[in-house]
Amino acid sequence: MPQPVTARCVACGATRPDEGVLYTCPDCGGNIDLLLDYAALRNDSAELRQALACRLAPLRKIMPGSFTSGNTPLLPAPRLGRELELPGLFLKDETRNLSGSLKDRASELVLMRAMELGLDTVAAASTGNAAASLAALAARFGMEAVVFAPKSAPAAKLRQIQAHGARLYLVDGNYDRAFDICLDAIREKGWYSRNTGHNPWCCEGKKSVALEIAEQCRYKVPDYIFVPVGDGCIIGGVHKGFYDLYELGLIERLPRIVAVQAEGSAAIANAWREKREIVAVQADTVADSIAVDLPRDGLKALRAVRDSNGFALTVSDEEILRAISDLARFEGLFAEPAGATAFAGLRKALAAGQVEPTAHVVTLITGTGLKDRDALAPLLEEPPLISSLEDLE
Ligand SMILES: Cc1ncc(COP(=O)(O)O)c(C=O)c1O
Ligand SMILES: [Zn+2]
């Protein structure tokens, strides 16, 4: 995309050209939005078509069809729709990404940007999925990935990271601690950052899920999009994708964006409910991928909800486990706890009358259950052990 890209601070509004390695706002430390030259794109339909084919990615050189991430199905969910009395229910199945989660969308774009900047090592702190996707895509690009993960991350995610040849450091502490160590390492070693809420290219990568949903709905946007929220980068990306399409005149309105957090990790939902600043919590939830004390992209998350006339809500761990079971039993989709959290939120919002039964609703299923297969164990019975046909009940 040849047009200049403007970096605008979410906190203080300062703007500057996006040049070189730029993470947070040099004036105030706030997170950054990368804004396209919307007027130029609106006025040149050939350029706009080309930009859309390249997912509106603000790279200087990019070819359509360069991406491995995404291109996931938007599945109708007729059986769950009947169960919930919500016929207009669709599931965006992000478990089908190369590494099994939506995070591939960010990792891939960040790696492409690193290449453009002439950097070959990219580092991330992660509860598991972001790092696994960075490791997988770095392997495809022949680049180096360095990962800082809390030692409590699910074993399958840690093995996945190692399988792709990434350098893995286990942090004796939680995700927030891993994040701080990773930022120090990046500063010291000159590695490129794939840290949520630190590098604005993560948000630009994740916005492609919104572009795809819009295209799959033939630019008639759904009424609601339900999104699981930890740091707030996915929901920020969803909002940014629809914002870009709106600025380009391709959609008439934004969908209402709904943030769903685990009760035990609800810094953003608390701030929304109490109409106040985001305050850190001590995160504790079965949904390890969204267990975050202080969200790193909280302002973008709150803005996504506010600007789209959406809302935020929390769900209990029991509701999350039930959602995993519902998705698996009714629609054949096996999600990890964070991956099923948005659906848990939808069930709760419907019961509370916050969503009309005639609504067209898209729920993001963000990560596969194969990486966290034991999460559902408390709800399952031991299968009977048999040695012959006579043992069948
Ligand atoms: C499967 C899954 N769902 C949801 C999220 C939440 O994304 P964010 O931290 O950007 O809010 C994550 C983040 O790690 C994740 O791995
Ligand atoms: Zn600023």
Neighbouring residues of 145: CB distance < 8 A, sequence distance ≥ 6 = 121, 122, 123, 124, 131, 134, 135, 138, 139, 161, 164, 165, 166, 167
When the pLDDT of each residue in the chain is averaged and rounded to a whole number, the result is: 96
231 lines ligand 1 (CB under 6 A): yes
In the chain, the N- to C-terminal Cα span, in Å, equals 64
Strand ranges of the sheet holding 6-9, from the earlier edge strand across to the other edge = 15-17, 6-9, 32-35
pLDDT > 60? residue 2: no
Give mean pLDDT, residues 4-13: 93
| Rounded-to-integer distance, Cα 42 and Cα 167, Å | 43
pLDDT tens digits along 218-277: 999 999 999 999 999 999 999 999 999 999 999 999 999 999 999 999 999 999 999 999
pLDDT tens track for 19-32: 999 999 999 999 99
Please check the confidence at residue 323 and state whether its pLDDT lies above 80. yes
3-state secondary structure of 250: coil
**C-alpha 375 to ligand 1 mean position (Å):** 16
Whether domain 104-201 has CATH 3.40.50.1100: yes
Query: Is the per-residue pLDDT at 128 higher than 70?
Result: yes
Q: Is the pLDDT of residue 279 over 70?
A: yes
Q: What is the pLDDT of residue 62?
A: 87
Which residue's alpha carbon is at the smallest distance from atom 12 of ligand 1?
289
Residue 229: CB within 6 Å of ligand 1? Answer: yes
Question: Domain limits of the chain?
Answer: 74-100+203-376, 104-201
Measured over the CA atoms of residue 45, residue 48, residue 53 and residue 59, the dihedral's sign is positive
Q: Which residue CA neighbors atom 10 of ligand 1 most closely?
A: 233
Q: Cα 113 vs. chain centroid, distance in angstroms?
A: 19
Closest of 105, 57, 58 to residue 364, by C-alpha: 105
Given a contact cutoff of 8 angstroms between Cβ atoms, the answer to whether 262 and 291 are in contact is yes
Residues 62 and 47: beta-carbon distance below 8 Å: no
Give residue 96's pLDDT.
98
Residue in 101, 127, 198, 305 to alter for ligand 1 test, most ligand atoms within 8 A of Cβ? 101
The ligand placed nearest to the CA atom of residue 22 is: 2
* Fold category of 74-100+203-376 in CATH: Rossmann fold (3.40.50)
H/E element holding 352?
Answer: none
Measure the CA–CA gap between 389 and 393, rounded to whole angstroms.
Answer: 9
Considering every ligand atom, which ligand is closest to the CA of 339? Answer: 1
Phi, psi of 19, deg, nearest 5: -130, 140
Q: Which atom of ligand 1 is nearest to the CA of 234?
A: 10
CB-based contacts of 36: which residues, under 8 Å, 6+ apart?
1, 3, 5, 51, 56, 58, 244, 247
Query: Nearest residue CA, atom 15 of ligand 1?
Result: 289
336-346 per-position pLDDT tens digit: 999 999 999 99
Domain 74-100+203-376 and domain 104-201 have a common topology: yes
Nearest CA to ligand 1 atom 1: 367
How far away, in angstroms, is 103 Cα from ligand 2 center?
26
* DSSP-derived secondary structure letter, 186: H
Q: Which atom of ligand 1 is nearest to the CA of 336?
A: 1
Q: What is the pLDDT of residues 42-96, one digit of tens each?
A: 999 999 999 999 999 999 888 888 899 999 999 999 999 999 999 999 999 999 9
Which residue's CA is the closest to the ligand 1 atom numbered 13? Answer: 289
Mean predicted confidence (pLDDT) in 327-349: 98
Distance CA(331)–CA(321), nearest Å, equals: 15
Q: Which pLDDT value is given to residue 294?
A: 94
Contacts of 263 (CB under 8 A, 6+ apart): 285, 314, 315, 316, 317
Please check the confidence at residue 1 and state whether its pLDDT lies above 70: no
CA 320 to chain centre: 17
> What is the predicted pLDDT for the residue at 356?
98
The SS3 call for residue 118 is: coil
For the stretch 148-207, pLDDT in tens is 999 988 899 999 999 999 999 999 998 889 999 999 999 999 999 999 989 999 999 999
What's the pLDDT tens digit per position in 192-212?
A: 999 998 999 999 999 999 999
Instruction: State phi, psi for 99 to the nearest 5 degrees.
Output: -100, 5
Query: In angstroms, what is the span from residue 326 Cα to ligand 2's centroid?
Result: 43
| Separation between Cα atoms, residue 348 and residue 196, nearest integer Å | 28
Distance of CA 388 from the midpoint of ligand 1 (Å): 45
196 Cβ below 6 A of ligand 1: yes
Q: Is the CB of residue 236 below 6 angstroms from any atom belonging to ligand 1? A: no
Q: What's the sign of the alpha-carbon dihedral 140, 141, 144, 146?
A: negative
Q: Tell me the mean pLDDT in the region 331-359.
A: 98
pLDDT of res. 61: 85
